Amino acid sequence: MSEEQRVTAYEAIGGEAVLRQLVSRFYEYMDTLPEASGIRAMHAPSLDGAESKLFKFLSGWLGGPNLYWEEFGHPRLRMRHFPFAIGTSERDQWMLCMNKAIDDCIEHPILRERLSNALRQTADHMINQES
């Protein structure tokens, strides 16, 4: 397969429409699951801004348009999350919501597993507190 024929993860999951659905579902879970109350409390009362930023970040991260980079510059994820106390509990809450959203929105089981694993590595990197 040539470089031009390679499919990005963004394309494989279904592009913008599916990514928007995934991010929206993620924040629905964060907003409603009692098990996610710890990370929900870290966010503003309205999740609209966070939803927009996560969509833009994941778009570029998955190989689609680099919307976050174009608007905000380098993501610097760890630095941007450093003001928040993130331990394994917060990581697990975030992953709970994301895995539920992935299960709801991504049809192919291998894509679901790969996306979850990649996001888990990123979430692990955000930990900045001892548990």
Angle formed at CA 127 by CA 124 and CA 129, multiple of 5 degrees: 150
pLDDT tens readout for residues 92-116: 999 999 999 999 999 999 999 999 9
Radius of gyration of the chain (CA): 15
List pLDDT tens digits, range 33-59. Answer: 999 999 999 999 999 999 999 999 999
Residue length of the chain: 131
| Residue 29 to residue 98: CA distance in whole angstroms | 8
Topology adopted by domain 15-126: Globin-like (1.10.490)
Phi, psi of 82 (to 5 degrees): -60, -30
User: For residues 82 and 4, which has the higher predicted lDDT (pLDDT)?
Assistant: 82
Residue 3 has pLDDT above 60, yes or no: no
What global pTM score does this model have? Answer: 0.91
Quick one: pLDDT band at residue 1, thresholds 50, 70, 90? very low
- Give the SS3 label for residue 52: helix
